[in-house]
C-alpha cells in the first residue's frame, strides 16, 4: 500500500512519457482470457490464475475488490508491463461480471471460478 502511494506521489512530480506504440504492444502482450479458481482461507481470498497462453500463478486479497485488483496487478507483473503503463491500461483490465463480483463478496461461498476476458482497447 505504501509503495502504491509513493509511486503515485512520484508520478505527480515526474509524469512518465507514454508512447502509443508501446501501449498497444503492452495491451497485446496481455492474455485474452484468464480463468481464476479461488477459495477462502483465514480471511483471505486466494486464487490460482490460468491464462489462455498456459501461464499459471497465484495471488490473494482480503476483500473482493482487493482480490480483483491483485489479479490484475499479478497479470501486469507476470507479463512485464512497466508500472507507468498500468494506469493507461487500467480500462483494459480483467473485470468480473456483477454476479461474479457478488459471489466474491459473499462470505458464505467458499470457492468458485471466474472466467474473465480482457476488456477491448478503445480506438
Question: Would residue 111 count as lying in a domain?
Answer: yes
Q: Is residue 4 part of a domain?
A: no
Is 16 within a domain? Answer: no
Residue 73 to residue 70: CA distance in whole angstroms: 5
Is residue 12 assigned to a domain? Answer: no
Q: Would residue 104 count as lying in a domain?
A: yes
pTM as predicted: 0.79
Across the chain, what does the average pLDDT equal? 86
Helix pair 98-105, 64-78: axis angle to 10 deg? 110
Q: Which residues of 91-107 are buried (b: 16+ CB within 10 A; e: fewer)?
A: ebbbbbeeebbebbeee
Is 110 part of any domain? yes
Range of the domain at 69: 32-117
59 domain-assigned = yes
pLDDT, tens digit, for every residue of 70-85? 999 999 999 999 988 8
How many domains does the chain divide into? 1
In a domain, 7, yes or no: no
Amino acid at each position: 500500500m505504501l509503495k502504491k502511494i509513493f509511486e503515485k506521489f512520484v508520478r505527480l512530480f515526474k509524469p512518465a512519457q507514454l508512447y502509443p506504440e508501446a501501449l498497444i504492444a503492452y495491451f497485446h502482450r496481455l492474455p485474452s482470457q484468464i480463468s481464476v479458481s479461488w477459495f477462502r482461507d483465514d480471511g483471505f481470498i486466494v486464487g490460482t490464475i490460468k491464462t489462455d497462453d498456459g501461464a499459471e500463478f497465484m495471488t490473494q486479497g482480503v476483500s473482493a475488490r482487493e482480490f480483483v485488483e491483485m489479479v490484475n496487478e499479478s497479470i501486469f507483473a507476470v507479463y512485464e508491463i512497466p508500472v507507468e503503463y498500468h494506469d493507461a491500461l487500467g480500462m483494459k483490465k480483467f473485470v468480473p461480471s456483477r454476479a461474479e463480483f457478488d459471489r466474491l463478496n459473499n462470505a458464505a461461498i467458499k470457492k468458485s471460478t471466474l472466467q474473465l476476458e480482457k476488456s477491448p482497447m478503445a480506438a
